[in-house]
A and B are shown apart, each in its own frame.
Chain A
Amino acid sequence: MMTRFNQLPTLKIDPTKKVIFNYKGKTYSGVEGDTIASALYANGVRIYARSLKYHRPRGLYSLDGECSNTMMEVDGIPNVRTENTLLKQGMTVKEQNVKGSAEKDMLGFLDKLDWAMPAGFYYKMMHKPARIWPIAMKQIRKTAGLGEISPDFEMPGKFDEIFPRTDVVVIGGGPAGMTAALAAAEKGLRVIIMESRPWLGGFFDYRTAEYKDGVALYQRGQDLAQQVEANENIRVLKHTAMVGAYSNCLVTGFQTGTDKDAFNERYVEIRANSVIVATGCIERPLIFDNNERPGVMQVGCALRMARNYGILPGENGIFSVGHDLGLEAAIDLFDMGMKIGCVADVREDGQDPELVLALAKRNILLLKGWVATEAHGKKQVNKVSMSSIDGMITRDFDCDVLVASAGLTPVTGPLTMAQIKLRHDDFTGFFVADEMPENTFSAGRILGINNALSIECSGTLAGIKAAKACGACDAAEVEAAEAAMKALPGPVRGSKLVTAPVKGRKSFICFDEDTTIKSVKQTIDSGFDVPELVKRYSSAGLGPGQSGIPGHNLPLYVAKYQALAGVPVKPTTVRAPIVPTFIATYAGTNHTMHKRTPIHNLQVADKGILRKIGVWERVRYFSEDYSCKKEIENVRNNVGMLDGSTLGKFRLHGPDALKALQRIYVSDMSKLKPGRVKYSAMCNDDGCVIDDGVVVMLGENDYYITTSTGRAGQTVEWFRYHTRYDGWDFSMVNITDSMGVINLSGPNARKVFEKITDEDVSNEAFPYSGFKEMLFKDVIPAKVMRLGFVGELSYEFHVASSYMTSLWQLLKEAGAEFGIQNFGVEAQNVLRMEKCHIILGQESEQRTNLLDVGLGFLWDRKKADAKTVGAVALRQAENDPSRFKLVGFKMENNGRAPRDGALVVDSKVRGYIATARDSFSLNEAVGMALVESELAKVGTRLEIYEDECGDERIYGKVVPMPFYDPDGTRMKS
């Protein structure tokens, strides 16, 4: 292990605290504060991975996880960005995508075969002859992909989620973000600041250059961080990467927990009134031959390795840079002990004179207008060729680290994702936003400024603008801040160079996908002339690094290559999550959201077998016998109870309530009488039945209606939508969840009922289709309906959810002497089927209209004024012979019931079986089917085709409906 600086004021590590981990089966040690990548580097690891396609050696490059170079498998989790992941005691770290090791990869030879793999080669090869494709495909699948995950992998850790609301959200905890947060907080606003690194400070954090009056930048950074953390109006989310920005000031991200947090990662979704984007810059990679060889790294990476992690990245450094930060870093690293052979700057002029002087003072050779053209060294850089920009003169330098950076590039992802249009600005070379949406502001280096004071001032300005947008300050303050900003240095000129003067066969524009300059040229030559298409064909920017490496260079290069055509520089799109995010993290707490009925626990205690049906959890069976024989027979011969609480329940009232009912229901609802229940149906504009249920009149202009379980959620909207132009005065309330329903059915139902009330509930006093509001035990108010869905004497009790348990127990106790039993949804399904009472969705599909299912009798043609939804279509359909019809059928020769969903066929499909069962009540198989109208006549033979039946068919015959108790005496007496 190399010696590390342990006294620097900028360190993020505690060199005294060891952290032991396992790498490739061996024990290593790092220190507290290390990332996995920095610990490995300190242990001498230089080759972290092999590249996707050519298996080239790859190493540390940006230190911010912008490419897959340093992705590894950690504790069984693939593709972990080791540069961003803090080292923990006992971690197990492995390399990925290598045959052998990253050091010695048996697939390394692929690098020589690049000539055989030009852009798009997959498309042009491996399909001739056709039989080789399946074999080739297997091979492609094996070689593609980076990490590996086992099918039974269980993600360890705790995941959480928060959805904070705030006035201002600041993305980026650098100097601009911090001053912005402070300015907004000062105006009394609530602020959230998100910073992807585990600390605030941004690019001040690791720089020793002077800020002002002898204070170093890092000191200023620490000072600002303290102010921010101490401010009560500011909520600081560190180690929180912004991943998505949406219109309307919605920002998402994820936070990595510390040892003190109760979560490993948590999803953060912030709804703000104003957004400040202060994401700063990353470096624009310099492109030359072998520009990704281990040992080649960006300026920030080299400097932060030393300043934050106490590791001098090399002994002999060479620099090839395009901005002042590069010069500054060379000076600082030199002062820390790195020998520097030369600093090449792609700019001919424009350097900060003081930096030039400082380099000269240290005798560091500065080559203006020069650039690296090739890194040498098989696995690690040991020499670099430099040349003048025009390629005329070249010189070689030995080195063990090459610090390379073409320029800066603003992190505009949050802007692009929020649909803000960007334009390429020639002066800075940045993509900039000319127009920002209301409530969104940017600050800091993203604007092209580089002066520390300007950066802070731009933050303050953005903070004040955000405050103004939130109504917390006036225009004068904005003007004052703008004036202050004008007085400071503005944007600086950016370097234009994309690639060194090379052919580009081994010059990589995208590391993740191994896309070279040469393959980009091939792509453009093939007709893919816009960056978005180049991306697709060459794969540049489609890898795990989310375009961090090629994002800026690709559009620049595409425009440059087609220079003669005058192609504008257009940015490519950026898509969330801008930082790859675990599915576990997005899922957060992953709650199950199912509704339970008010007597759920009683049903479970009675051994109900639950099923998730739509939004509900319901009991489908009460025994393991899924044919429900006992439950069915009990209802037919005795008495049973069903929890029907999932039914949709609504109250509709107001002077125009009746008009609304007339519009929505097909029947004439003006015929509703107090004390009576009316069954009816709703259609859509195509006349298709969408719902059925009952309506009762509670009083003048006051109605109570029920819908099927599945439609409960949409019903209020359905009424609103279809009456939206009428201006009618009525209200509708969904009381589905506040009411429960008990269905009491069977020949003994009345006897049970009589035991809980003194009122007369005889057939005369409370006949079929009757409705009563009753009070049980002096306290339980209930709406009671006499219905017969299952085909027996039956009562439905609608009570407030809070009374459900009491009433249920009451009925259960009353029924005890008869042996009352539960029945579930499947028993109900068979019972009602025997009676040919349909369930929408079961005996109908979306195209089935009211007439098709035999409910035409409900439709009142005379109420034309009501403009009943669906009536026009029904009129048209009346004479249409091509429609399906619902029929009842029995099986020939007493055969078994066909399976639900079997087809009715001849040489074509003629219909299908909706529901069919071997009926215990009838001792034969019966069912309902939807068939073409030609087959609907009673007596027609149905040829039934079941799945997996081969050549075998079974046959049924159309019979009249219903099968059970055809004249309804059981139900009505």
Chain B
Amino acid sequence: MFSKQKPMWGEKTQLKSSYDAVIIGGGLHGLATAYYLAKEHGITDVAIIEKNYIGFGGAGRNTAIVRANQRTQYNVPLYNEALKLWPILTKELDYNLMFNNCGNLNLMHSEAAMKAARMTIATAQFHGVESHLIDAKEAKELVPALNISEDITFPIHGAMFHPPGGIVRHDAVVWGLARGANKYGVEIHQQTEATGIKTQNGKVTAVETSRGTINTKQVLISAGGYSAALIYGMLGIKLPISVLTIQAMVTQPLKPLLNHVVSSGAYHCYANQTLKGEVATGAHMDQWPNYTTQNTAHYIKHQAEALSEFLPCLRGVKFMRIWGGLADMTPDMAPIMDGNDHVEGFYMDCGWGYFGFKSCSAVGKYMAQFMAEKECPEILKPFNYRRYEKHQLMGETAALVNYTPDN
């Protein structure tokens, strides 16, 4: 530990002319899939192709909230497994992912919202995931900084309390998985852009990159916000994905104040305190397609107005930095995980919007299984993209494309 440091994910190497599998995108999902391919399935001749540096995309910009109280029965088991994997991965990777299972408190501001929460809670409980409906007073006991008075824009009626959720250090996940994958032999090529996928007779034959062509029979696109454009550009497959800018921000670091993740759909705002003491808060998506990661003046103001109301002590705290990232939204707020459909050997894992952090561990595991066995694991089947052709939306969100912040 105290000796000279070595590059965590290997020395920079030449790109080889062929690999057993190529993964486009060195984000959470790409790294996790590579890790499990190597570890669980012995497929170690893998190249991760990353245009910038690992963690450049959503992986390095998210607010690291994890939870398993999703809305539908398809999602709950997947996220639940993901949640349970954090301590296991910490051990396996021998890298502290700093899982803080502080629990999530999702505030409800109306009778209708309480009803909606009840359904989500019942679904969680039915699947053995702990989640409870609590009233405003109980919420205040958990989060003393909450304003439960009537005289705010959206008075708090109660909350959905999900004790096993929390936050994980996002950077640690990226670096830990990269190191873990590299230990098994996975190569990580940064500053390398994937520019095309070659196919022959409906099968993948190669991936083109800014550093030359790589022959391979299997390729996964997991390029976060860029996936939909890449998949269309490279293979002509159109996905019903809108890419929007999503923003988050932090305050100056404080001594412990918030012991849980607090979120509010009505206020479009969530807040949690990182281990560094900063209050991380976010949720807003500009509702028009936008591939920039620029932040906006109105949003930071909105966020301040919201926090002023439901966590008023934060008025005396200062915002320190705001940033933006991309959210690739599907019409039903559930992701697309599919493969071997249009083109043999081609896999995709995208449409993760603002919830692709909490899922990445389990998804990496199953996408790796998918790629290794060439057969879609049962748990991933509902996420096929043909559901949109059949107009069968998944129902992960109740309201009509209404982007809520309850991450």
In Å, the complex CA distance between A522 and B2 comes to 10
- A267: chain B residues at CB < 8 Å are 301
- B17: chain A residues at CB < 8 Å are none
Counting contact residues on chain A (CB < 8 A from B), the size range is 35 or more
- B379: chain A residues at CB < 8 Å are none
In Å, the complex CA distance between A122 and B175 comes to 13
Do A583 and B251 have beta carbons less than 8 Å apart? yes
State the total of A-B contacts with C-beta under 8 angstroms: 304
Does A594 count as interface, using CB distance less than 8 angstroms?
yes
CB-nearest residue of chain A to B102: A137
- Max chain B C-beta neighbours (<10 A), residue from A118, A144, A842: A144
Do A577 and B319 have beta carbons less than 8 Å apart? yes
CB-nearest residue of chain B to A842: B112
Does A340 count as interface, using CB distance less than 8 angstroms?
no
Do A78 and B316 have beta carbons less than 8 Å apart? yes
- B85: chain A residues at CB < 8 Å are none
Q: Of residues 74 to 120 in B, which have CB atoms within 8 Å of A's CB atoms? A: 87, 90-91, 94-100, 109-112, 115-120
- B393: chain A residues at CB < 8 Å are 686, 688, 846-847
Does B209 count as interface, using CB distance less than 8 angstroms?
no
CB-nearest residue of chain B to A161: B301
Does A882 count as interface, using CB distance less than 8 angstroms?
yes
- B154: chain A residues at CB < 8 Å are 612
CB-nearest residue of chain A to B399: A846
Q: Of residues 169 to 216 in B, which have CB atoms within 8 Å of A's CB atoms? A: 169, 171-172, 175-176
In Å, the complex CA distance between A899 and B322 comes to 41
Do B301 and A587 have beta carbons less than 8 Å apart? yes
Query: Closest Cβ of chain A: how far from B309's Cβ, in Å?
Result: 7
Choose among A118, A154, A684, A900 the residue that contacts B5 (Cβ–Cβ < 8 A).
Answer: A118
Does B237 count as interface, using CB distance less than 8 angstroms?
no
In Å, the complex CA distance between A690 and B400 comes to 7
Q: Which of A145-153, A695-703, A748-756 contacts B (4 or more CB under 8 A)?
A: A145-153
Query: Can you list, as one digit per residue, whether each of B135-166 has a CB less than 8 Å from chain A (1) or not (0)?
Result: 00000000111000000111100000000000
Do B297 and A118 have beta carbons less than 8 Å apart? no
- B5: chain A residues at CB < 8 Å are 118-119, 522-523, 525-526
CB-nearest residue of chain B to A950: B125
Does A10 count as interface, using CB distance less than 8 angstroms?
no
- Max chain B C-beta neighbours (<10 A), residue from A154, A544, A587, A899: A587
Does A810 count as interface, using CB distance less than 8 angstroms?
no
Query: Closest Cβ of chain B: how far from A85's Cβ, in Å?
Result: 12
Does A876 count as interface, using CB distance less than 8 angstroms?
yes
Given contacts A546-B320, A577-B322, contact A583 B391 (CB under 8 A): no
Query: Closest Cβ of chain B: how far from A540's Cβ, in Å?
Result: 14
In Å, the complex CA distance between A546 and B55 comes to 22
Do B121 and A546 have beta carbons less than 8 Å apart? no
Do A149 and B122 have beta carbons less than 8 Å apart? no
Query: Closest Cβ of chain A: how far from B25's Cβ, in Å?
Result: 17
In Å, the complex CA distance between A723 and B366 comes to 43
Do A947 and B297 have beta carbons less than 8 Å apart? no
Given contacts A124-B1, A583-B304, contact A144 B276 (CB under 8 A): yes
In Å, the complex CA distance between A127 and B88 comes to 11
Do B398 and A845 have beta carbons less than 8 Å apart? yes
CB-nearest residue of chain A to B121: A947
- B342: chain A residues at CB < 8 Å are none
Do A583 and B7 have beta carbons less than 8 Å apart? no
Does A123 count as interface, using CB distance less than 8 angstroms?
yes
- B255: chain A residues at CB < 8 Å are 141-142, 144-149
Does B397 count as interface, using CB distance less than 8 angstroms?
yes
- B99: chain A residues at CB < 8 Å are 133
Q: Which of A35-43, A243-251, A382-390, A779-787 contacts B (4 or more CB under 8 A)?
A: A243-251
Do A587 and B304 have beta carbons less than 8 Å apart? yes
Given contacts A590-B309, A592-B153, contact A581 B318 (CB under 8 A): yes
Given contacts A577-B321, A582-B317, A587-B304, contact A146 B254 (CB under 8 A): yes
Do B319 and A686 have beta carbons less than 8 Å apart? no
Choose among B110, B175, B296 the residue that contacts A613 (Cβ–Cβ < 8 A).
Answer: B110
Do B6 and A612 have beta carbons less than 8 Å apart? no
CB-nearest residue of chain B to A155: B315
Does A584 count as interface, using CB distance less than 8 angstroms?
yes
CB-nearest residue of chain B to A591: B305
- A121: chain B residues at CB < 8 Å are 1
- A78: chain B residues at CB < 8 Å are 252, 254, 316-317
- A908: chain B residues at CB < 8 Å are 73
Do B319 and A137 have beta carbons less than 8 Å apart? no
Do B318 and A582 have beta carbons less than 8 Å apart? yes
Does A586 count as interface, using CB distance less than 8 angstroms?
yes
Do A141 and B254 have beta carbons less than 8 Å apart? no
Choose among B98, B118, B152, B300 the residue that contacts A586 (Cβ–Cβ < 8 A).
Answer: B300
Do B253 and A145 have beta carbons less than 8 Å apart? yes
- B123: chain A residues at CB < 8 Å are 903, 909
Does A721 count as interface, using CB distance less than 8 angstroms?
no
In Å, the complex CA distance between A613 and B120 comes to 21
CB-nearest residue of chain B to A714: B400
Do B96 and A126 have beta carbons less than 8 Å apart? yes
Query: Closest Cβ of chain A: how far from B159's Cβ, in Å?
Result: 13
Do A912 and B119 have beta carbons less than 8 Å apart? yes
Given contacts A146-B252, A146-B253, A150-B313, contact A526 B153 (CB under 8 A): no
Does B308 count as interface, using CB distance less than 8 angstroms?
yes
CB-nearest residue of chain A to B323: A575
Do B398 and A846 have beta carbons less than 8 Å apart? yes
- Max chain B C-beta neighbours (<10 A), residue from A130, A149, A152, A842: A149
Do B321 and A576 have beta carbons less than 8 Å apart? yes
Q: Of residues 239 to 257 in B, which have CB atoms within 8 Å of A's CB atoms? A: 251-257
- A133: chain B residues at CB < 8 Å are 90, 96, 99
Do B111 and A611 have beta carbons less than 8 Å apart? yes
Query: Closest Cβ of chain A: how far from B153's Cβ, in Å?
Result: 5
Does B60 count as interface, using CB distance less than 8 angstroms?
yes
Choose among B172, B304, B313 the residue that contacts A152 (Cβ–Cβ < 8 A).
Answer: B313
Do B294 and A577 have beta carbons less than 8 Å apart? no
Do B305 and A141 have beta carbons less than 8 Å apart? no
Q: Of residues 529 to 546 in A, which have CB atoms within 8 Å of B's CB atoms? A: 530, 532-533, 536-537, 543-544, 546
Given contacts A122-B98, A905-B126, contact A846 B300 (CB under 8 A): no
- B132: chain A residues at CB < 8 Å are 947-948
Do B277 and A146 have beta carbons less than 8 Å apart? yes
In Å, the complex CA distance between A882 and B155 comes to 39
- B320: chain A residues at CB < 8 Å are 544, 546, 577, 580
Do B315 and A587 have beta carbons less than 8 Å apart? yes
Do B8 and A526 have beta carbons less than 8 Å apart? yes
Does B395 count as interface, using CB distance less than 8 angstroms?
yes
- A259: chain B residues at CB < 8 Å are none
In Å, the complex CA distance between A161 and B313 comes to 20
Does A665 count as interface, using CB distance less than 8 angstroms?
no
- B296: chain A residues at CB < 8 Å are 246
- Max chain B C-beta neighbours (<10 A), residue from A123, A252, A583: A583
- B53: chain A residues at CB < 8 Å are 530, 532-533
Do B318 and A583 have beta carbons less than 8 Å apart? yes
Query: Closest Cβ of chain A: how far from B161's Cβ, in Å?
Result: 12
Choose among A419, A686, A846 the residue that contacts B397 (Cβ–Cβ < 8 A).
Answer: A846
Does B234 count as interface, using CB distance less than 8 angstroms?
no
In Å, the complex CA distance between A876 and B392 comes to 10
- A246: chain B residues at CB < 8 Å are 294, 296-297
Do B277 and A846 have beta carbons less than 8 Å apart? no
Does B314 count as interface, using CB distance less than 8 angstroms?
yes
- B253: chain A residues at CB < 8 Å are 52, 144-147, 543-544
Sampled A-B contacts (17; CB under 8 Å):
A119-B5, A124-B1, A140-B275, A146-B252, A149-B316, A523-B5, A526-B5, A537-B175, A575-B295, A576-B321, A577-B320, A583-B308, A594-B153, A688-B400, A847-B394, A905-B126, A947-B125
Contact surface of A with B, Cβ cutoff 8 Å: 52, 76-79, 115-116, 118-119, 121-128, 130, 133, 137, 140-142, 144-155, 244, 246-247, 250, 252, 267, 269, 419, 522-523, 525-527, 530, 532-533, 536-537, 543-544, 546, 575-577, 580-588, 590, 592-594, 611-613, 620, 684, 686-688, 690, 826, 841-842, 845-847, 849, 873, 876-877, 880, 882-883, 899-903, 905, 908-909, 912, 945-948
